[in-house]
């Protein structure tokens, strides 16, 4: 399973790696900008949800409380702060009481996390907890989430780079983080194991100081993408 600087948290408790971000985080997606405050001084954790499933809305329950409700496909929620660092997260279909999957996660206080609902190779659903990272002021970071139903061994290539950004990326897996040079416009290509292009992200701006998440969705014959980018906003 590919994983770079950020550790993917799976079922069961695990401790993520990566820098802590105690400053506000600005997120941009499709022209929309959202600002998440810095976590509180008491070790709080900021959490958001990405629904990368092909269809249906989901709820995320933290402990006994609904943290996010009716999160639609391709939706990226704003961050919410939780005070506990060891949390049991449950994913369920909206309007249903039964749990689809439950994970207990151990998270670092003062950090930001993204919970991603993704399909799995066996036709099930997984909930991945990813620690978010920030990029240096003169660099850019990218991670890629493969949520393409029935896909395996996808390769992600960025224009101007000889080696693939990520390779052998199966459905439900995350490749990240990888550091790249900033660019005003670049091409991101998603390729099959045979080298055929199955999707493209054209004219993708790689802004210095921003960390981008690219999500691959859809099916093997119809791969779609969406993305969002984060950067630290210094408090004055």
Distance CA 149, CA 123 (A): 8
pTM of the model: 0.88
CA dihedral 15, 21, 22, 28 (to 10 degrees): -130
Domain residue ranges of the chain, discontinuous segments joined by +: 8-14+22-232
Using pLDDT thresholds of 50, 70 and 90, give the confidence band for residue 19: very low
Which residues, including other chains, have CB under 8 Å from residue 65's CB and lie 6 or more apart?
none
Residue 114 has a pLDDT of 97
**How is residue 147 written in tokens?**
């949520």
Cβ atoms within 10 A of the Cβ of 169, count? 25
Query: Is pLDDT above 70 for 10?
Result: no
Distance CA 199, CA 221 (A): 10
Residue 14 has a pLDDT of 33
pLDDT digits 0-9 by tens, 97-151: 999 999 999 999 889 999 999 999 999 999 999 999 999 999 999 999 999 998 9
Residue 47 has a pLDDT of 96
Strand order in the sheet with 197-206: 166-169, 154-158, 183-191, 197-206
**How is residue 146 written in tokens?**
């493969």
């Amino acid at each position: 399973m590919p994983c770079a600087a950020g550790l993917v948290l799976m079922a069961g408790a695990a401790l993520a790696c990566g820098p802590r971000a105690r400053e506000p985080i600005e997120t941009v997606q499709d022209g929309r900008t959202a600002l998440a405050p810095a976590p509180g001084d008491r070790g709080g954790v900021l959490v958001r949800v990405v629904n990368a499933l092909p269809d249906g809305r989901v709820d995320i329950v933290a402990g006994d409380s609904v943290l996010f409700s009716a999160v639609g496909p391709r939706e990226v929620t704003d961050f919410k702060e939780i005070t506990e660092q060891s949390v049991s997260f449950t994913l369920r279909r909206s309007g249903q009481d039964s749990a689809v999957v439950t994970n207990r996660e151990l998270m670092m206080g003062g950090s930001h996390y993204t919970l991603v609902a993704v399909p799995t190779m066996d036709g099930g659903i997984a909930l991945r907890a990813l620690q978010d990272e920030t990029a240096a002021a003169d660099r850019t970071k990218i991670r890629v989430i493969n949520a393409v139903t029935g896909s395996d061994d996808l390769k992600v290539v960025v224009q101007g780079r000889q080696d693939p950004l990520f390779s052998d990326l199966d459905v439900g897996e995350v490749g990240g983080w990888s550091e790249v040079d900033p660019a005003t416009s670049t091409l991101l290509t998603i390729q099959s194991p045979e080298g055929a292009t199955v999707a493209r992200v054209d004219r993708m701006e790689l802004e210095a100081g921003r960390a981008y998440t690219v999500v691959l969705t859809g099916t093997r014959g119809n791969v779609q993408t969406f993305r969002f980018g984060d950067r630290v906003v210094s408090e004055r």
